[in-house]
Chain A
């Protein structure tokens, strides 16, 4: 039995190629059914997002992994409606521990475009639910998926991989939370307009701030932006009044001179009753005088500051990723141990089946020649069964005991199969 994984991701394929696979117009259940009918395959699973497609298979015990892999690759090419040869350069193929590690890394967002982004785990969970409903999962993949969720959780809680903001807008929200605690009920003033400023405003609105006020040089433009965010439009003349009400100010005007001077902000402090004020200056050249940042209870971040925060956080994520890789490696080894213990079971079962077959055959041959009472027949049957069990006892113990050392275990398994000629036997489960 082998675990085979094939797929492509943003690391190996351009977006055009990924699109070919992502937009498959059939239900997940159909795809899974096709996957299982590819050959001697017991279990199948796939996950498809805009950044990756991954197929995982568990083969029958006697299947040839290479043959199954080739069929899987061809299947992926067919599904994408693509030419085999050029396409296969973009695919990767992984087996057993490599495959396990890859699944763990993907779900823990270590393989993502933005390392640490949280969406991927949800996507894998959705795919798991679909496969579960389509009954394409068995003992191995069910266990693998549960371990995957466990690993992703460990990575999230034991490393700081996803708790740092890696975009300017998120960094601003993060800072606002460190100043105000909950952002619920805080007032946001948007000065000027622009993509980045509006993105930051959007993120703040998602934190349920009380409301958005938009001030602009022209009231018309202010009204347009305010309309989009269900906010209130004011003119620049009302700036000082609005400054008293606001908790968070995002500035992004095209003005050449600072719009918010130190004097203006200082004058607002008393009427504000010293409430903290967070100024996010996204404009270049800057809209807020640098002196403002030195005022008490006023926190000023310009776009360079935020970019620096983001750069540091990204570096921090890389450090955390090292920890996360260690967790993944640990768990992959544990899973492989479990997987290997499964291989012991078929061998013992095979041995058992062989002895049982011999016992039954011999009883069938001998019993008719003896004239025994039912009690005597029963005694003979019990005796032979006990003999068989006693013969099996030590080998079974040895095979089970040794699986901690993979090399020895493999050697013993091999020897057992040769000694008893088990290779030719059809072993069930």
Chain B
């Protein structure tokens, strides 16, 4: 059942992506409206599927890479739809929905080995750590997308050769405010995710902080974003520089999410999670 819902969510995201791209191409408001509803339909299926996983596992489904990617796709769509409520930036969907589609496809290609519930894995601190971190990553991703859109539009205006993107992208001002809002929200959630993770770590391993590669890279990312935020909020940086920084910062996020797991061996990565917890079960 939850497999079916998962596939259904993927199909909804596919249709939503097609709708958003059609909107980008043809600029029909109706296409974007339909596409947003499709994404919402996908989100509902996806939520039910995740709830099924959660119930079956007994803990938040964020342990294997498959689960993490799927949850990330879910968070991205949820974050995007939440933003839609405040910023009526329909064109954002054309950038975000392909990303969500890519994530759910990547998740589907990963083998879906399941693990039994482990003591302490049902902790509310873990749920908070995972949710806050994922939403944090997603909003930082959206900040980077806004930055990319800003750079595209700025280029159109500065080069004095307004082309295809000029009419399709919103004003620099709205892209900049979107980037700023996503940055503030993403940074706050990232902080919350790291703090709750530290508390959870104390419960599980007896140490708040273990200097594992993922933790170190999270800290580097956090410091980087703190600096970006400082420049934006106190020095008043905006526009081009801020857009580049949002993109660079997100590079660090990706590295922390994937690179630190794959390149640097770590108790915190997706493959050793399983070994560690199998050990616990035994």
Contact = CB atoms under 8 A, between A and B. Distances in A.
A181 B171 contact: yes
B272 interface: no
Interface string A275-305: 1100000000000000001001101010001
B231 to A, nearest CB: 10
Interface string B156-186: 0110101000110011111000000000000
A62 interface: no
B239 A305 contact: no
B157 A175 contact: yes
Contact of B240 (A297, A305, A309): A297
Contacts of A177: 171
Contacts of B191: none
A178 B158 contact: no
A301 B158 CA distance: 9
B240 A296 contact: yes
Q: Which of A175, A275, A296, A305 has the most CB of B within 10 A?
A: A296
Contacts of B212: none
B170 A308 contact: no
A85 interface: no
A369 interface: no
Given A175-B157, A296-B240, A180 B173 contact: yes
Instruction: Give the one of A160, A175, A178 with max B CB within 10 A.
Output: A178
Contact of A178 (B172, B235, B236, B240): B172
A81 B237 CA distance: 69
Interface in B219-270: 235-241
A299 B241 CA distance: 15
B161 to A, nearest CB: 9
Contact of A297 (B162, B174, B238): B238
B70 interface: no
Nearest to B240: A296
A276 B173 contact: yes
A179 B238 contact: no
A369 to B, nearest CB: 71
B153 interface: yes
A299 B173 contact: no
Nearest to A157: B28
B160 A301 contact: yes
Given A160-B167, A163-B167, A276-B172, A178 B153 contact: yes
Contacts of B170: 181
B160 A181 contact: no
A179 B158 CA distance: 11
Given A180-B171, A181-B174, A274 B160 contact: no
Contact of A305 (B160, B171, B241): B160
B169 to A, nearest CB: 8
A130 B107 CA distance: 65
A181 B157 contact: no
Contacts of B235: 273
A277 to B, nearest CB: 11
Nearest to A171: B162
Contacts of B167: 160, 163
Contact of A296 (B160, B173, B239): B239
Contact of B173 (A175, A181, A305): A181
A297 B237 CA distance: 10
B260 to A, nearest CB: 33
A147 to B, nearest CB: 22
Contacts of A181: 170-174
A308 B160 contact: yes
Nearest to A175: B157
Interface in A291-335: 293, 296-297, 299, 301, 305, 308-309, 312
B239 A297 contact: yes
Interface in B120-157: 153, 157
A274 B158 contact: no
B160 A273 contact: no
Contacts of A296: 239-241
Nearest to B231: A274
Contacts of B153: 178
A276 B239 contact: yes
A179 B171 contact: yes
A179 B238 CA distance: 13
Contacts of A293: 158
Interface in A38-96: none
Contacts of B238: 274-276, 297
B154 to A, nearest CB: 9
Contacts of A163: 167
A388 B33 CA distance: 55
A247 to B, nearest CB: 10
A181 B87 CA distance: 13
A309 B167 CA distance: 13
A304 to B, nearest CB: 9
A170 B166 CA distance: 16
B209 to A, nearest CB: 37
A293 B154 CA distance: 12
Interface string A159-171: 0100100000000
A164 to B, nearest CB: 8
Nearest to B166: A178
Interface of B: 153, 157-158, 160, 162, 166-167, 170-174, 235-241
Given A180-B171, A273-B236, A299-B157, 20 more contacts: A160-B167, A177-B171, A178-B166, A178-B171, A180-B172, A181-B172, A181-B174, A182-B173, A273-B235, A275-B238, A276-B239, A293-B158, A296-B239, A296-B240, A296-B241, A297-B238, A297-B239, A308-B160, A309-B160, A309-B162
Interchain residue pairs A-B with the least CB separation, the first 3:
A273-B236, A181-B173, A181-B171
30 contacts: A163-B167, A175-B157, A178-B153, A178-B157, A178-B171, A178-B172, A179-B157, A179-B171, A179-B172, A179-B173, A180-B173, A181-B171, A181-B172, A181-B174, A182-B173, A273-B235, A274-B238, A274-B239, A275-B236, A276-B172, A276-B173, A296-B240, A297-B238, A297-B240, A299-B158, A301-B160, A305-B160, A308-B160, A309-B160, A309-B162
